Amino acid sequence: MNGAKAESARAESAKAERAKAESAKSERLGAAAVLTLVLAYAAFGVFHLSPWAASWDEVDFTLALDRFDLLAMQPHAPGYPYFILGGRLMRLLSGDPVLALGGWNLLLASSSAWPIYRIARRWIPPVSASLAAAIVLTLPMNWTLSVRPMSEGAALALLWWFLWSLVRLAERRSNGRWLAAAFLFGLLMGTRLSYVPFGIGLLIAGIVEARDLRRTVTQRVLRLTGWAASAAAFQFFWVGAVAAAEGGFAETLRLFAGFGEGHFTEWGGGVSQAGLPFGERIWRFAADNWLWTGTFARFVPLAVITGALLIWTAWGWRQRWAVSNRPNASSLRRLTASPAFILAVCVLAYALWALLGQNIAKPRHAAPLAALSMFALAACALRLRIGRSRSAAIVLAVLLAALQAAEGARLVSLQQHERPAVYQLADALAKDSESSAILYTWEEERVLRYLNVPIQTQPIFTYEYFLANAAAERGSRILLTGSVWDEFRRQADVPAAKVRLLAVYRSDSRLDPVYGTIALYEWKG
C-alpha cells in the first residue's frame, strides 16, 4: 500500500520534472524567437531609415537637435525632451539629424519586442507570445513610424514598456513596481504627452491599493502619498528640464498654453475641426484611422485575413464559454483588478481622447489602438485550446504575420525611396525660380523653409489679407499652394480663372495624409 503510494508520488514528481524541463525549453525557444525578431527588425530598419523631414512636426524635431527652442517651435510644446535627447545621443552615430531621430525610434521600437512578449506570456505560451510580438511590430503603419523622425515611434515603444510595468504592478503592488511604472510613465510623457490617458492605469492601481483592507488606513495613506509624490516627481523632472531650457517655468507654461490653444483650435485646419459632424467623425476615426489605414494600411488581403482570424477566434471562444462556467460576481470582481482589465481601460481612455481631442486628419494618432487591438486579437486567438480550432488559429496568425511583414517591409521601403510631395515642390521651386517670386503656403511653409527654397515663402490664412499683400507685391510672380487656394475658395467666392494650375506633386497619402498631394498655382489676379 505504502509502496504503491510512494511509487505514484515518484511518477508524479518525474512527470512534474519532465513538464518543468519541457516548459524551460519552450521558454528558451520563445526568448530566442523574440531575440531573432529584435535583431531582424533592427537590421532591416537600419537600412531603411526615412531620410525625409517632410511634415511640420518632423521639421520641428529635426531642428531641435541643433537648437532646442520651444518659442521657435523647435520642437513645439510640450518639448518632447526625452525624444530630443535620444536623437542627440544617436547623433553620435549619424551626423544627419533626421536619421538620428529615426535611429532612436528604431532602437526603442526593436527593444519593445521584449515587453510585448512578456505581457503576452501572461496568457499564451512562449512561442505564441513571440508570434504576437511579431504581429504587433510588423503592423505596417506603425513600422513606418519606427523609422521616421516622429516621436510616435519612440512613444509606442515606451508605451509597451510602461504597459508591462503596469501589468507587473497589477500583479503585485510593491513599492518597487510602482516606482518602475511611474518612472516609465515619466519617460513616456517626456516623449509624447498625448499618450497621457494611459496614465489611468496608474490611477487604477492606486485606487485598488486604497481599497486594500489588508493594510491599516495609515499605512495606505502613507504608501499612496509616497506613490503620488514619486509619480509627480518623475513628471516634474522633464517639465523642469524643458523649463530650464526655455529660461523659466512661468514662460514655459504660458507657451504650453498658447500652443495648446493653437493646436486644438486651428492646427491643420481642413477636416480636423468642428465642420465634421460627430457621427462622421466617429466613423472616420474607427473605420479609417484605426482599422483601414491604421491597422491594414489600406491593403485588402490584410483586412481579409485579420477578419478571418477574428471570426475564427470569436467562434472558438463561444465554444469555450459554452463549456466553461458562466461568469459570476466573484469572477467579475477578480477581473476588475486583473492586468487585462487595466489594459482595456487604458485603451478605452486613449481611444476616447484620440477621438475627441486629436486631429482626425492624421491616422498616426490611432497607432496605439492599432497596436493594442492587434495584440489583443493575437492573444485571444493563440489562447484557444480546443485542438483543431487552435491549429487553425495558429496557421492564420502565422499567415497574418507573414503577410503583414511583407506589406510592412514594402511600405517602409517605399517611405525611404519615394520623394515626398513637399520635397518635389521644393525641387521645382529651386529649379525654376525668379528671385522675385513669392509662394503663399500653409503648413508646407515649415518644410520649405527648412529645405531653404530660394524664393520667399509666406504662410497665409485669410483671402482678404492675401489680396492686400498681392496688391503691394504687384511686381512679383505670386504662387499659391493647393491648400491655400482651397481655403480661399471656402472663404470667398473666387472665380477659378484667377489662377493657373502649374503642377501637382504626389506621394503616398498613407505616409503623408495631409500633404501627400500638393498642387501649385500661379495667381493671375
Partner 1 sequence: MKLLKVRTLIALFSVLLMAGIFPASAGAYSYGNANTEAVAETFKLIVSKLNADSPDWTAAKAAYAETRSEIDSHFGKDVTKELDDAFAAQDKDRVLKDWKGVLVLNLDRRFTYAEQGFENYSDTKLLLAKARATYEALKPYLSGTPAEGKLTELDQAFDKALEALGNPGLLGVGKKDPNPEAFKQNIKLIYDTIAPLFPMAGAAAGGGATLDPTASPAAHAPMAETNKTNASVTIGAIAVVVLLAALLFWRMRRRKA
Residues in contact with partner 1 by the rule CB under 8 A:
66-69, 71-73, 77, 81, 84-85, 88, 196-197, 199-200, 203-204, 207, 210-211, 241-242, 244-248, 251-252, 254-265, 329, 332-333, 336, 345, 348-349, 352-353, 356-357, 436, 456, 458, 462, 464-465, 467-469, 471-473, 475-476
Going by C-alpha positions, the residue among 38, 46, 373, 346 that lies closest to residue 196 is 346
Report the residue number, 318 or 524, with the smaller CB distance to partner 1.
Answer: 524
| DSSP code for 496 | G
**Nearer CB in complex with partner 1: 297/347:** 347
- Looking from the CA of 392 toward its CB, the CA atoms found within 13 Å total 14
CB distance 195 to 188 below 8 Å:
yes
Instruction: Give least dist CB 365 to partner 1, A.
Output: 14
> Which set of grid coordinates corresponds to residue 80?
518632447
Instruction: Count the neighbouring beta carbons within 10 Å of the beta carbon of residue 506.
Output: 14
Of the pair 298, 446, the CB lying nearest partner 1 is at 446
Rg (the chain; Cα; Å)? 26
Closest CA to 492 of 524, 520, 465: 465
CB of 345 to partner 1, least distance (A): 7
Closest approach of partner 1 to the CB of residue 217, in Å: 8
Q: Which of residues 35 and 196 has its CB atom nearest to partner 1 in the complex?
A: 196
Instruction: Give whichever of 248 and 275 is closer to partner 1, judged by the CB atom.
Output: 248
Distance from C-alpha of 459 to C-alpha of 442, rounded to nearest angstrom? 5
Q: For residues 11 and 379, what is the distance between their CA atoms, to the nearest angstrom?
A: 34
Contacts of 208 (CB under 8 A, 6+ apart): 170, 173, 337
CB of 221 to partner 1, least distance (A): 12
Minimum CB distance to partner 1 smaller for 225 or for 319? 225
Q: Tell me the closest approach of the beta carbon of residue 193 to partner 1, in angstroms.
A: 9
In sequence order, the 6+-apart residues with CB closer than 8 A to the CB of 317 are: 380, 384
Pick 256 or 312: Cβ nearer partner 1: 256
The closest of 397, 366, 510 to 135, measured between CA atoms, is 397
Helix (H, G, I), strand (E, B) or coil at 307: helix
CA distances from 121 to 13, 27, 88, 460 (A): 25, 10, 34, 53
Place of cell 500661379: 522
**Closer residue to partner 1 (CB): 210 or 311:** 210
Taking alpha carbons only, the member of 472, 484, 473 closest to residue 444 is 484
Choice between 47 and 465, CB closer to partner 1: 465
Number of continuous H segments (helices) and E segments (strands) in the chain: 22, 5
The continuous run of DSSP H or E covering 334 comes out as: helix 329-336
* Residue 203 Cβ vs partner 1, minimum distance, rounded to whole Å: 5
Smallest separation, CB 237 to partner 1 (Å): 9
Q: State the minimum distance, in angstroms, from the CB of residue 40 to partner 1.
A: 32
* Nearer to partner 1 (CB atom), residue 300 or residue 471: 471
CB 334 within 8 A of CB 341: no
Q: How far is the CB of 161 from partner 1 (least distance, A)?
A: 21
Minimum distance, C-beta of residue 459 to partner 1, in the bound complex (Å):
9
Q: Which is nearer to partner 1, 211 or 431 (CB)?
A: 211
Residue 250 DSSP symbol? H
CB 329 to partner 1: min, Å: 6
Enter the DSSP assignment of 420.
P
Is residue 382 within 8 A of residue 393, CB to CB? The reply is yes
Residue 515's Cβ-count burial label (10 Å; 0-12, 13-18, 19+) is: buried
| Least gap, CB of 261 to partner 1 (angstroms) | 4
Task: Output 30 or 79, the one with its CB closest to partner 1.
Answer: 79
Answer whether 136's CB lies under 8 Å from 374's CB.
yes
Cis peptide leading into 75, omega within 30 of 0? yes
